[in-house]
Amino acid sequence: MEPPEQPDAPTWTDLDRPPLRAAALRAALVGPRAWSRLDVVATTGSTNADLLADGAAPDGAVLVADHQGAGRGRLGRTWTAPARSSLAVSVLLRPAQPLDRWPLLPLVTGLAVVDTLDALGVRAGLKWPNDVLVTGPDRPGKVCGILCEARADRVVVGAGINVSLRADELPVETATSIALAGARARDRDTVLRRYLRALRRRVDAWAAGEPVLADYRAASLTLGREVRAQLPDGTALEGVAVDVEADGRLVVQPSGGARTSLAAADVVHLRPA
C-alpha cells in the first residue's frame, strides 16, 4: 500500500527550510541492512496514523512529512510546528520479540535521539517516559517528543524533532530546537540521516537482546530526582525516581512509603516535585 496522496505544500520561500530530498535519502538509508522503504510526503495529518493504517507496510518502513498538521503526542496531546522546521518521522516495526519487551521501544528511540544530538554537538538527556531535553549550555528545553503506538502484529515509532524553530515560533517557553541549542548541522536531511542510522543501531541491539537499561539510566534526567506524578484519577504521587524496570516502568520511592511502579499510561504528567 502506497502512502496516501497528499496535497502539495505551498511553494517554499524560506531558504533555511528547503524540502527534504527524498531520492537522496532513499539512496542513503534504504537497503538490506538499513530500512526497507522510505517515503516523504509534503504534508499529512499524522505520520504515525498513516503508517498504522497501512496494514501491508513492511517491517522497517519509514514515513517522513515536511509538514504535519495533526501530530499527536502521548494521551492525545497535539503537536504542531511551522512547515519544514522540524522532522516528523515514523517507523513501522514488526518485532519478533515478546510483547512484554515492546514497552522498551520508546526508551530505545529516545537513546537514538540522544545519540543523534550528541553527534551534532548538543548535550541532551531523557525525561521519562518519552521526552528528549537539551541540557545546555545553550537554550535548554524539550527538543523531541516520542510516541509509540502498537497493534497486535506491529508497532509504529514516531518522533518529532524540533530542528530550526526560532525562539518566537516555539509552542511553549520550555521548548527548544537544535538550532537554538547550537547544533553543528541544522539541515534536516543531515539530522534525519543521523537519526535513522542511530535508530537502526539501537533497534537492532534491542532485537538482539542486548541490554538497554544501563544506557537509558546513564542518559536519564529523571532518575535520582524528586518527582510528582499526576495520575488519571486526579491524585498525585511524590517521591524519588529510583529506577526503570525491565518493562520500562518508572519506580518511585515516596518518603516513608512503599515503592510504586508506574507505566507511561498510568501518568498524566511527570514533573519535578
pTM over 0.85: yes
Check residue 69 and give its pLDDT: 78
Contact assessment for residue 35 and residue 196, using Cβ atoms and an 8 Å cutoff = yes
Complete DSSP assignment for the chain: -PPPP-PPPPPP--TTSPPP-HHHHHHHHBSTTSBSEEEEEEEES-HHHHHHH-TTPPTTEEEEEEEESSEE-GGG-EE---TTSEEEEEEEE---S-GGGGGGHHHHHHHHHHHHHHHTT-EEEEETTTEEEEEESSS-EEEEEEEEEE-SS-EEEEEEEE-S--GGG-SSTTB--TTTTT-S---HHHHHHHHHHHHHHHHHHHHTT---HHHHHHHBSSTTSEEEEEPTTS-EEEEEEEEE-TTSPEEEE-TTS--EEE-GGG-SEEEE-
Check residue 108 and give its pLDDT: 98
Contact assessment for residue 242 and residue 223, using Cβ atoms and an 8 Å cutoff = yes
Q: Residue holding cell 504528567?
A: 269
The one-letter code for the residue type at 249 is: R
Check residue 257 and give its pLDDT: 85
Of the candidates 49, 129, 123, 137, the residue with the CA atom closest to the CA atom of residue 92: 49
The tens-digit pLDDT sequence of the chain (273 residues) is 545 444 344 455 677 799 999 999 999 999 999 999 999 999 999 999 999 999 899 999 999 999 987 655 554 556 677 889 999 999 999 999 999 999 999 999 999 999 999 999 999 999 999 999 999 888 999 999 999 999 989 999 999 999 999 999 998 999 999 999 999 999 999 999 999 999 999 999 999 999 999 999 999 999 999 999 999 999 999 999 999 999 999 999 998 889 999 999 899 999 998
Check residue 10 and give its pLDDT: 47
Looking at the DSSP bridge assignments, the partners of residue 151 are: none
CA trace torsion 193, 196, 202, 205 (10° rounding): -100
Contact assessment for residue 164 and residue 177, using Cβ atoms and an 8 Å cutoff = yes
Question: Length of the chain in residues, anyone?
Answer: 273
Of the candidates 96, 78, 146, the residue with the CA atom closest to the CA atom of residue 116: 146
Contact assessment for residue 143 and residue 163, using Cβ atoms and an 8 Å cutoff = no
Would you state the cell numbers that stand for residue 151, as one nine-digit string? 497493534
